[in-house]
Structure 1
Amino acid sequence: MKQGGFAPQGKWTGSALGGVKAPDALILPNPGKRFSDTATRLETLAIGHPMEDWLRFMAKLAHGQHAAVTTLSPLAGLEQSVVEQAVDARMPPLAADGHRRDPAWRDGLAVLLDHFDNGSMPPQVQAVVAQLRARGAVAIENLADEFLHGNVEAADAGPVLYVAAALQVYFTRMAASLPASALRLLPQRGLCPGCGSTPIAGLVTATGQTPGARYLYCSLCSTAWNHVRTVCITCGESRTVSLEGIEGDAGIVKAETCNDCHTYAKMIYLAQDMKADPFADDLASLGLDVLVAEAGWSRHAPNPLLLVG
């Protein structure tokens, strides 16, 4: 899941005389809204979409994640000293590939599986759910480690989809409990300051105190962090950055491409649709991924649910 990057060469600037405010460095997730917002947006985007059935399935997955968030017992957050030690070392306190998970994360997986364990699901879904239920705790933890280290076997792709969704629930809940005032952006600005994972997409604000600010949204813990615009989030260069889109569409989602490192990242513009959601709109814009890939750019980092789903 993780991918290296470099600190951007540019910096945010504003006129003090003009009263311009710097955007918040990071925004911790709201678990009570994160997955329900994604589910609602997916249901809206699914209407008349060429991939309608699949988007509705992903909406059901997001509803299952919301059910887990709203029914599970509270988690014990990290101790302040642990957070401060990680920040002082310029490391994410919830490092995805090193954090010792609370076994309670598997309770979220159980809620997810209950959400799909009914006769209305296609036989292949029921088979995957049954297969996952049959695995013991050690085997499930191994699947989680494979996912977080990016070593998923093809044969495990089906079960790991639900494991990944449960891990998103766990890390989002953990990130929400972090002391925001103690956190700092990482030297590798393209990585999440909470868990060190790559972003799912960037979202450009349209309202508030800093309209036009760009926030990257973590693909694992849902933390958002500010990143200067028109700077490649992979290599930190700005000389050859440009926006690519699908001609004739609403312009909500565009691909920010870089000809220095030949990567791209999705950018979502709230000015075009205030209800846009970085997690849902990324899934619904796979056509843009195909077109940009055919033109020679590689995605900055994959959507983890697409990677295993």
Structure 2
Amino acid sequence: MPYASLSEYNFFEGELKNLQPVYKVIPYDINSSLFTDYAIKKRFIWMPKDVQANYTTDREVPVFPIGTVLIKNFYYDNTIPNNTTYIIETRLMIKKADGWAFANYVWNDEQTEALLSTQRETIRMSWNQNGTAITTNYKTPSTIDCATCHTINNVYTPIGVKPQNLNKMYTYNDGTKNQLSKWIEEDYLDTKPTTINSTVDWADASQSLELRVRSYLDINCAHCHSTGTSCDYTPMELSFSQSTVPENLGICREPIDFVTGDQQYIVSGQDIQGSLMHFRMNTNIQSEMMPPVGRTIVHQEGVELIEEWINSVETTCP
């Protein structure tokens, strides 16, 4: 591995595009999903026989055994002009003896196969998003792009599969149950504590605004803006476990990177125009937008969430 084509792994049965998992390929979801130009995600995990992952902490990826494969499919429903589902790519992370490896597969137009790709590819996509037609040049990641976001302390690491993100209910073929409990039942995980400090769905308005914002920033930004990552030189610590401290969210912190705007702080309470975080999320200028990879359009709902939060911050910066 990696194989030249996705079908060689035999993760799915029947027509490949239906993504119908075979025995022991287990679907999963996370509380808040990374924004990728509104692409929908369908995730699975597979492990070899007679091995399991070891739980460490809420905020850390479990210690997965060699041979584990994390499977993440990116697709759109309601594509134009035929109002059909179109799978763009399937990203794998494969645990090998020397660490995690990336393998990205780009689907053909016939939706019959996905082939290994190590370079960034651009795919013209059009779809209906809640009644609005959207067109963009979707970009699949290169291997270097994958490494940029998935490197912590110089080691390739998964992002989403932390207990804090997995601790939720999921409806399986045999019923609805907690995902971590399901993994234990399937011998994919050794144990879990009674209480887990968990993220929430950032779009769930029944949750507190603070939890929603911290969860959004954790999954969308913390893989670069936390200790040991590519942008840990910036004065922010956006991982969910560290963002209870206001300063770690960038409140009244002066930015380091130059941009064309005149924002004095990363986040300036009740001052959207003076907050660099908002500016960078709300632009498509390649040299200034955040995240710098993984999107080509502005996540409008995410921007609105950050606007609501900034307007709620009562701290007055000097």
The two structures have a TM-score, normalised by structure 1, of 0.31
The answer to which structure has the higher strand fraction is: 2
The answer to which structure has the higher helix fraction is: 1
The two structures have a TM-score, normalised by structure 2, of 0.30
Bigger relative contact order, structure 1 or 2, given CA contacts below 8 A and separation 6+?
1
